């Protein structure tokens, strides 16, 4: 990293969003640095989903700004935000079950030629896509039993890994993971957490939404707790402040509910 190393990849300032009478976000601010795993915690309805949807361009904020590498993306749509290098892996994974991992990675951005033809009529570069896929999976140390098998035949963890790898495949700056381990067994969840650590080593920033406090403590560098649309606390998650985090989430102060 050069002298820009300190500059955050993502900066959210005073984000506000209402849905009718409901205040979904009320002045939330935070910043995520390159190679940082940033956890978003909070109960259902705390505003986590609204926040990531605002970042990924699905919803537009009513007030506040979102800066990506210093560029204002507050008003950018979903495709524009993706083009800027923010990938979101939703819980449904958006995989093509009937296609193999390589086809999933390159869906909509197939390597093909010649360039003067319209996109749909170009010839696919099968071998190059397969090579790139293998390289990427090696780099992320994702091991799949059969690279030619369709994704439908893979376990939940393998599918999650394919979805995450696809998200970082195209020089992504920031990956947003929405409950990546919710549907997984213990061992598969552990593998996905390993994968998140490797993204971090690769210099990709990660926003992680998770209900599992253990997982957040295991991989997150910092955690922000949302409650009823407000940021109620930010800390480095560790075993010592576990209770603090939980009390922020449930809205208790000093052991008393407020």
Partner 1 sequence: MTAQSRETLVARDDAGSAEPRPARRAPGAARGLTAALTALRAGPVVILVLLVVLLSVLSDVFLTLENVGNVLKQSAVICVLALGQLPVIVTRGIDLSVGSNLSLSAVVGALVWRDQGSATLAVLAALATGTAVGLVNGLLYVKGRLPHPFIPTLAMLTAASGLALFLSDSGTIQGAPPIVDEIGAGRIAAIPGGGEVGWFPTAALVVVAVALVLTLLTRGLVWGRWIYAVGGNPEAAVRNGIPVPAVLISVYVLCGLLAGVAALLMMGKADAGSPMAGSLAELDAIAAVIIGGASFLGGRGRVLNALTGALVIAVLRNGLNLLGIDPNWQYMATGAVIVVAVELDVLRGHLERRFRSLQAVSRP
Residues lying near partner 1 in the complex (CB under 8 A): 78-79, 94-99, 103, 107-110, 112, 119-124, 143-145, 152-158, 184-188, 190
Whose Cβ is closer to partner 1: residue 155's or residue 241's?
155
Q: Show Cβ contacts of residue 44 under 8 Å, excluding neighbours closer than 6 positions.
A: none
Q: How far is the CB of 210 from partner 1 (least distance, A)?
A: 19
DSSP 154: S
Q: DSSP secondary structure string, 241-253?
A: THHHHHHHHHTEE
**Are the C-beta atoms of 129 and 110 separated by less than 8 Å?**
yes
The nearest distance, CB 226 to partner 1, in angstroms, is 25
Nearest distance, CB of residue 9 and partner 1, angstroms: 22
Cα distance between residue 186 and residue 182, in whole Å:
10
Q: Give 78 or 213: the residue with its C-beta nearer to partner 1.
A: 78
Strand-strand pairing, 205-209 and 174-178: parallel
Q: How far is the CB of 39 from partner 1 (least distance, A)?
A: 24
Tell me the two tokens of residue 167: 């998200």
For the bound state, the minimum distance from the C-beta of residue 209 to partner 1, rounded and expressed in Å, comes to 19
User: Judged by CB, which is closer to partner 1: 45, or 156?
Assistant: 156
Q: Is 235 exposed, middle or buried (0-12, 13-18, 19+ CB in 10 A)?
A: middle
Nearer to partner 1 (CB atom), residue 195 or residue 249: 195
Comparison of 19 and 96: residue with beta carbon closer to partner 1: 96
């Amino acid at each position: 990293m050069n002298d820009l190393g300190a500059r955050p990849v993502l900066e959210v300032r005073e984000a506000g969003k209402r849905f009718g009478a409901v205040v979904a976000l009320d002045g939330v601010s935070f910043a995520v640095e390159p190679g940082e795993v940033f956890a978003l915690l909070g109960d259902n309805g705390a505003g986590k989903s609204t926040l990531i949807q605002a970042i990924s361009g699905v919803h537009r904020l009513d007030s506040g700004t979102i800066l990506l590498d210093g560029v204002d993306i507050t008003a950018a749509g979903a495709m524009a935000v993706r083009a800027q290098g923010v990938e979101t892996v939703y819980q449904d994974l958006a995989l093509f079950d009937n296609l193999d991992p390589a086809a999933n990675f390159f869906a909509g951005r197939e390597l093909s030629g010649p360039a003067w033809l319209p996109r749909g009529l170009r010839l696919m570069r099968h071998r190059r896509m397969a090579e790139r896929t293998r390289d990427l999976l090696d780099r992320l140390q994702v091991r799949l039993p059969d690279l030619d098998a369709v994704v439908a035949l893979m376990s939940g963890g393998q599918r999650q890994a394919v979805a995450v790898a696809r998200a970082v495949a195209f020089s992504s700056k920031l990956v947003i993971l929405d409950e990546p381990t919710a549907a997984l067994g213990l061992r598969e969840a552990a593998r996905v957490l390993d994968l998140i650590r490797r993204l971090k080593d690769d210099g990709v920033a990660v926003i992680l939404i998770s209900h599992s406090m253990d997982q957040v403590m295991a991989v997150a560098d910092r955690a922000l707790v949302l409650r009823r649309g407000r940021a109620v606390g930010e800390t480095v998650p560790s075993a010592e402040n576990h209770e603090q985090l939980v009390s922020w989430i449930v809205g208790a102060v000093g052991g008393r509910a407020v």
